[in-house]
Chain A
Amino acid sequence: MHIPDGILPISVNAGGYAATAAVTWYSIRKIKQKENPREGIPKASLLTAAFFVVSWIHIPVPPTSVHLVLNGLLGALLGYYAFPAILIGLFFQAVMFGHGGLTTLGINAVIMGLPAILAYYIFRLRKLGSKESPKQDGAFDFLAGAVAVGVSVAIFVGILVTNLPADFISAAAERAAIYTMAIAHLPLLGIEGAITSLLVVFLRRVRPGILDGV
């Protein structure tokens, strides 16, 4: 789901950078409003490492394969720290492995980072009920993970389909390939939801303190 260099027109890449700059500024502002902004950094740093490495874990979905993203998990556990964390993870993925690119760093941060913030708000909905319900908590954990990656795929497809280059021999074939890839990502919604849910339920039992403030 990382768009590499040379795929999108310059205007879209510039727009991606502008949006990323705005969201990063807003995220840092939100982080600064916390009582102790430094407190969340170790957790964010470790999850950045997880996000960076996890793109190498390929799950075969015939005829293709998809890789884990974990942006929902980052959103649920980190809140507004998730956006800068994903931005840094994407930067290292682009520089070291060529996953994505430097010109598309902004647009990729929008694709994966914005749904992470959405996941944070979905995750917070678990507190709405008057009484504590582990089942309800688990459902919102799952939703946070699944919806984040689903929205990422939707943004990814939307950007690609509206920016097909004119020099293609067959725009229809490329469009079909994009939709095939999007459908191949559907199982990932369940997988990411399950991973997020399992990990958060585990943390809730073992170290509930880590979920404080989120």
Chain B
Amino acid sequence: MRIKWKVIASLIGILVLGLALPVKVFAHGASIEYEVSTVIELVATYDSGEPMAGAQFVVYAPDDPATPWLTGVCDDEGRFSFTPDSSRPGIWDIQVRQAGHGDIVHIPVGGDAVAVGGAGGYSKLQIGLMSAAVVWGSVGTALYFLRKRKA
């Protein structure tokens, strides 16, 4: 009789152990937490197409446009990237400058603002047409002042 109880107790023990073990095994599973953050990547080039290698950039947060939020230097291809603070939505201003040349871009971040990408400058055709318009205006002015006055 005592032996029988010992067997039952052992079986219950094994069962409990068996139930407990898998819990320990599942504790090795992976967990993934995620947060979406926006990385802004910029490429700075001169009009001539050359990259602004080594140019310095200054990033200003929307709520404090007077104090630089981040400063740094572009790489050899004129690239740099940064992750804006998502708790400060608004227009982020980024200035890139080198030897007195440079530009400022205004990038909307957070809220309803959606900015996928942007590029400054014009295509060669646009430049050609705009130049032609101004040149024609100048030629027109010259012709106007060259005309002979009626006596």
Which residues does A use to contact B, with CB under 8 Å? 2-7, 38, 41-43, 45-46, 48-49, 52-53, 56, 58, 64-65, 67, 92, 96-99, 156, 160, 167-170, 173-174, 177-178, 180-181
When A and B form their complex, which 5 residue pairs have the shortest distance between CB atoms, in order from nearest?
A49-B138, A42-B142, A177-B99, A181-B99, A45-B141
Q: Does B146 lie at the interface of the complex (its beta carbon under 8 Å from any beta carbon of A)?
A: yes
B8 CB to closest chain A CB (Å) equals 77
Please give the distance in Å from B65's CB to the nearest CB on chain A.
11
CB-based A-B contact count at 8 angstroms: 96
CA distance A212 to B104 in the complex (A): 46
> In the complex, which residues of chain A have a beta carbon less than 8 angstroms from the beta carbon of B102?
4, 6-7
The answer to whether A7 and B48 touch (CB under 8 A), given A52-B134, A167-B58, is no
Selected A-B contacts with CB under 8 Å, 22 pairs: A3-B100, A4-B101, A4-B102, A4-B103, A41-B145, A42-B145, A42-B146, A45-B145, A46-B142, A52-B131, A52-B134, A56-B127, A58-B48, A65-B50, A97-B122, A98-B103, A98-B120, A160-B99, A168-B58, A169-B73, A177-B98, A178-B100
Asked if residues B54 and A46 are in contact (CB atoms below 8 Å), the reply is no
Query: How distant is A73 from chain B, measured CB to nearest CB, in Å?
Result: 15
Interface size, B (range): 35 or more
> Roughly how many angstroms separate A58 CA and B122 CA in the complex, as a whole number?
16
CB–CB A160/B100 < 8 A: yes
- On chain B, the residues within 8 Å of A53 by CB distance are 131, 134-135
- Chain A residues, Cβ within 8 Å of B72: 169
- Given known contacts A41-B145, A42-B143, A42-B145, is B99 in contact with A170 (CB within 8 Å)? no
Query: With a CB–CB cut-off of 8 A, which chain B residues contact A46?
Result: 138-139, 142
Residues of B within 8 A of A65 (CB): 46, 48, 50
